[in-house]
């Protein structure tokens, strides 16, 4: 029986998401064992490989992964000792350090990026429409969790000040990005946009 105030459908959705999260954690742990890196070290390498230097500071990564700065610093120090990343002083703030991958770190990241291949292989069996609907739901869920403060970092279109939902009559590209001045299809919506700027209503929330 569902808990008071929670529908059976809601419980099933949370249970399904938890099961998927468990599978993703398991895949990441398997990769961690093979590479002799911890899951957070793997996530750090993948993150640094996918983001610009402006988003690659210890404090930013700690916030991104929901960790304390001390825990994040330990992971960074370990990766630095392994020769996988280096630190660089920020010209605009000499107290801050930007992290960047070494050549060895980029090679490791390229290899580690295959950790979710089992998921990608199964996604090939679903239609474009099914995957688009799934993306819509997940982005709306992330937006809702961000608004409520459960998720602290959400660089998705739905939380960006440049996003204009349903700005066009064209059902194929109904949304608009004011930064790029470009219509967007549902499948164009980003999960992690480097140009993201949080909408004012969310910034003050």
Domains of the chain: 8-120 (1.10.10.10), 126-203 (no CATH)
Q: pLDDT tens digits for the chain (205 residues)?
A: 556 678 999 999 999 999 999 999 898 888 888 788 988 899 899 999 988 877 888 888 888 888 898 999 999 999 999 999 998 876 666 667 789 999 999 999 988 888 889 999 999 999 999 999 999 999 999 999 999 989 888 899 999 999 999 999 988 999 999 999 999 999 999 999 988 999 987 665 5
State how far the Cα of 53 lies from the Cα of 41, in Å rounded to an integer: 18
Q: 3-state DSSP call for residue 155?
A: coil
Q: What is the pLDDT of residues 116-136, one digit of tens each?
A: 899 999 999 999 999 999 999
What confidence score (pLDDT) does residue 94 get?
A: 62
What confidence score (pLDDT) does residue 200 get?
A: 86
What confidence score (pLDDT) does residue 63 get?
A: 85
Q: What pTM value is reported for the model?
A: 0.77
Measured CA to CA in angstroms, residue 5 lies from 15, 18, 162, 172 at distances of 16, 20, 36, 37
What confidence score (pLDDT) does residue 204 get?
A: 56
Q: What is the DSSP letter of 102?
A: -
HSE-CB for 17 with a 13 A CA cutoff: 11
What confidence score (pLDDT) does residue 115 get?
A: 87
Measured CA to CA in angstroms, residue 200 lies from 15, 162, 197 at distances of 33, 11, 9
Query: What is the number of other CB atoms lying within 10 angstroms of the CB of residue 47?
Result: 18
What confidence score (pLDDT) does residue 179 get?
A: 95
What confidence score (pLDDT) does residue 3 get?
A: 63
């Amino acid at each position: 029986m569902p808990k008071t105030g929670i529908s059976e459908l809601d419980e099933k959705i949370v249970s399904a998401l938890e099961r998927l999260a468990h599978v993703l954690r398991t895949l990441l742990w398997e990769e961690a064992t093979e590479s002799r890196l911890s899951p957070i070290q793997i996530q750090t390498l993948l993150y640094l490989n996918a983001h610009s230097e402006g988003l690659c500071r210890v404090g930013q990564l700690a916030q991104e992964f929901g960790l304390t700065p001390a825990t994040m610093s330990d992971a960074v120090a370990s990766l630095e000792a392994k020769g996988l990343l280096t630190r660089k002083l920020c010209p605009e703030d000499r107290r801050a350090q930007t992290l960047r991958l070494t050549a060895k770190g980029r090679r490791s990241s390229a290899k580690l990026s295959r950790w979710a291949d089992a998921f990608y292989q199964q996604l090939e069996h679903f239609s474009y429409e099914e995957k688009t609907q799934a993306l819509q739901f997940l982005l709306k869920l992330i937006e809702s969790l961000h608004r409520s403060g459960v998720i602290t970092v959400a660089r998705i279109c739905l939380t960006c000040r440049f996003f204009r939902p349903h700005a066009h009559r064209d059902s194929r590209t109904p949304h608009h990005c004011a930064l790029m001045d470009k219509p967007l299809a549902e499948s164009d919506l980003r999960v992690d946009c480097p140009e993201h700027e949080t909408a004012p209503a969310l910034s003050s929330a």
